[in-house]
Amino acid sequence: MQALQNKELKYAKTQQVTYTDNFIDTPGEFIEMSIFAHQAVSVSLDASLIIMVSSCIDTQNSIRPNFITMFNLPAIGVVTKIDREDGNRKRSRHYLQYAGIPDNKIFEISSYTGEGLDVLSEEIHKYVNRDGHDFS
């Protein structure tokens, strides 16, 4: 999100639902714990697109099977940290597919190097910001 908005990269765990001009960031617990799933659905009412993110350095899957089908919105998946040598892109793609995102809607990016950000931004713009405004 920060890289798409050309902001300085600052890593911090999301503690609460955060609204910015063009994004809604939710805590990982919304996905990890089924008791919070209804909160994710409620927040999605303000969204045009669901973007599910999986870091390729995560070794555990926290996404339930077909989780994305809870939402009545288009969805894409994003594999992050592809610049890391200890990452496993294939595993992260599998996690996102397991969640219900088709392979052709999964994008691999590095916020650090910028790899894949243009393609991801182009895909996001197919669903949101059709009025011509940029993310920044």
The CATH code of the domain that includes 104 is 3.40.50.300
130 assigned to some structural domain: no
CA distance 85 to 3: 20
| Number of domains present in the structure of the chain | 1
24 assigned to some structural domain: yes
- DSSP per residue, 101-131: --GGGEEE--TTT-TTHHHHHHHHHTTS-TT
Q: Which residues of 85-100 are buried (b: 16+ CB within 10 A; e: fewer)?
A: eebeeebbbebbebbb
98 assigned to some structural domain: yes
Task: Give residue for tokens 């790899």.
Answer: 115
* pLDDT tens-place string over residues 16-68: 777 777 777 777 777 778 888 888 888 888 788 888 999 999 988 888 899 99
In contact, 79 and 56? CB cutoff 8 Å: yes
12 assigned to some structural domain: no
In whole numbers, what is the pLDDT of the chain averaged over residues? 83
Which residue range(s) make up the domain with 115? Answer: 18-125
Question: What is the mean pLDDT of the segment spanning 123-127?
Answer: 89
Tokens of 114: 């910028």
